Structure 1
Amino acid sequence: MQEEPGIHSRDRHILVVNPNTTASMTEKIGEAARAAAGSGIRITAINPDEGPAAIQGPADGAAALPGLFALIEAQMTSNDPADAIVIACFDDTGLWELKRRWPVPVIGIGEAAYHVAALASQRFSVVTTLSVSVPVLEQNLTQIGLAPRCAKVRASEVPVLDLEDPASDARAKVEAEIERAIAEDEIGAMVLGCAGMADLAEDLSRKFSMRVIDGVSAAVRLAELLVGVRPG
């Protein structure tokens, strides 16, 4: 029997899109995605050239949409379209429109992290960047039906781009908020609420002896599962 294109005849291609324009964050996201991907999975990590340098709240999310949609349109209509798309912003920027627009699996890293956390533990909390992002994440949790499983969405008050600066106190602030969550929230898992935290999850899991979930890795693994499912 002839193999279907994109199923077994070639490596599966997962497009990982950082909706902001910060290339160093895209590089970090790409590294996390490739580390999570299994054999036979090819990762392309890209970001738009125009739009906000960081997505911090709904205004930045709206400003990122034109560049995000154009970038995915160009990739998906090229000679190298993807078998799945990962939106690598924890706000799940443009996610529902992109799910409607493209016939391949489209997964947000927030969406993926919440589902994995709900499988890992009865209750989980989220540590994100600034307070302005908290209502967006709470709305997303409600939309996918997992708000009752989330004890609290916590802001570490770390600007997104501070996560790209090794000299900043970003990691210390994230760790302090995780410590508060463990002490106060009665949780069994912790979710890192920013793609820029992707490189922290493994180390923080060891430090706190708790499952600390990075949405980039979670989304890539779920995308890998979904592209292996034959339609119909």
Structure 2
Amino acid sequence: MDLLVVNPNTTKSMTATIADAADRVRNPSTRVTSVTSSMGPVSIEGYYDEVFAVPGLLLEIAKGERQGAQAAIIACFDDTGLDAARAMANIPVVGICEAALATAAFIAQRFTIVTTMERSRLPLEHLVQRYGMTGRCNVRAADIPVLSLEDPQSNARDRLRNEIDAALREDRAEAIVLGCAGMADLSIELRKEFGVPVVDGVAAAVKQAEALVALGLSTAKRGAYASPVRKTYSGALRDFAPDIMVG
């Protein structure tokens, strides 16, 4: 089985963290290719960044599908470009937020997403509502820049731990969901430290992508995720015309 994992920001060190998390949980027969977007922001923090991350993400998914990937994973907790990718691709596409919430729902009645920036909290609350988890899932922000998670001199990880502690005390959370792909390397450590399930969306998405491929299921191609209507795109986006991207 061949899976593609796309980091939709352009920070290669974060892709390495994501790749390690995916490799830890994949089936021995699964080959995981983790790639970094070739264009866009170095991190995705809010609506503006998200929009400009989508073109590079779509390019990588289209390329991966042509090279034989059987499913794709979008490794950003905002589920950046997920709907567009599902409409474009003929393989299943899994977002790590949706995968993480679905996984958490199997093991806890109440759980809390702990994410990075405060500006990301409301978009994630919208995703919680979209995925039918309102009433079960709270969202907290440690108010730390995404890339600070990679800086050993920052206090980002301490602030993340403080927010997890608050979620357990104040939200009565039974499980924690890590709300950033850049936190993927912390799940096992935090699980042991706090004594509760800690869900990493990258790992959850890998297992769910494997399940979809094994079941022979892909995205429905009627209605909302029907293939894009063929038309001309102009200017800098001309190469994103459906005739070119989808083939």
Query: If the length of structure 2 is used for normalisation, what is the TM-score?
Result: 0.86
Match of 1:222 among 208, 228, 235: 208
Query: Within 2, Cα distance between the matches of 1:223 and 1:197?
Result: 20
**Counterpart Cα distance in 2 of 1:212 and 1:54:** 23
Q: Which letter maps to 2:185?
A: D
Task: Identify the match of residue 34 of structure 1 among 23, 33, 54.
Answer: 23
Percent of pairs with identical residues: 46
The separation in 1 between residues aligned to 2:2 and 2:22, in whole angstroms, is 12
Number of equivalent positions: 218
Q: Given the alignment of the two structures, is residue 95 of structure 1 paired with residue 82 of structure 2, yes or no? A: yes
The ranges of structure 1 where at least 4 consecutive aligned residues each deviate by more than 4 angstroms after the TM superposition are: none
> How many angstroms does 1:74 deviate by?
2.0
Higher alpha-carbon deviation: 65-74 or 23-32: 65-74
SS at match of 1:205: helix
Kindly state the Cα deviation for residue 148 of structure 1 after the two structures are TM-superposed: 2.2
Per the TM alignment, residue 134 of structure 1 is displaced from its structure 2 partner at its CA by: 0.8
Q: Which residue of the partner structure matches residue 7 of structure 1? A: none
Coordinate RMSD, CA, aligned: 1.2
Q: Deviations over 1:67-124 (max 9, x none)?
A: 11112222222xx221110000000000111112222221101110001111110010
Q: Distance in 1 between matches of 2:59 and 2:90?
A: 17
Distance in 2 (alpha carbons) for counterparts of 1:94 and 1:230: 23
Once the 2 structures are TM-superposed, how far is the Cα of residue 131 of structure 1 from its aligned partner? 0.6
The offset of 1:166, in angstroms, is 1.8
The equivalent of 2:45 in structure 1 is 56
Match of 2:234 in 1: none
| 2:164 counterpart of 1:178 | yes
Unaligned runs of 5+ in 1: 1-11
CA shift, 1:66, in A, is 1.1
- For the residues of structure 2 that align with 1:59 and 1:52, how far apart are their CA atoms? 10
Q: Which residue of 1 aligns with 2:229?
A: none
Structure 2 match to 1:167: 153
Deviation, structure 1 residue 231: 4.8
What is aligned with 1:16?
5
For residues 118 and 231 of structure 1, do their structure 2 counterparts lie closer, same or farther at Cα, with a shift above 3 Å needed?
closer
Query: Which residue number in structure 2 is paired with residue 204 of structure 1?
Result: 190
* Secondary structure class of the residue paired with 1:228: helix
- Cα distance in structure 1, aligned partners of 2:60 and 2:28: 26
Give the Cα separation in 1 of the matches to 2:134 and 2:80. Answer: 18
Post-superposition offset of 1:173: 0.5
Residue by residue over 1:145-199, the C-alpha shift from the partner in whole angstroms, topping out at 9 and shown as x without a partner, is 112210x200001100001112211110100000000110112110000000000
Distance 2:155 2:70 in 1: 38
For structure 2, the 5+ residue unaligned runs are 219-247
1:132 is aligned to 119
Structure 2 residue matching 1:148: 3-state secondary structure: coil
State the TM-score, normalizing by the size of structure 1.
0.91
Aligned partners of 1:111 and 1:221: how far apart in 2? 13
Cα distance in structure 1, aligned partners of 2:9 and 2:143? 19
- Alpha-carbon distance in structure 2 between the residues aligned to 1:160 and 1:69: 22
SS at match of 1:176: helix
Measured in 2, the distance between the counterparts of 1:98 and 1:89 equals 13
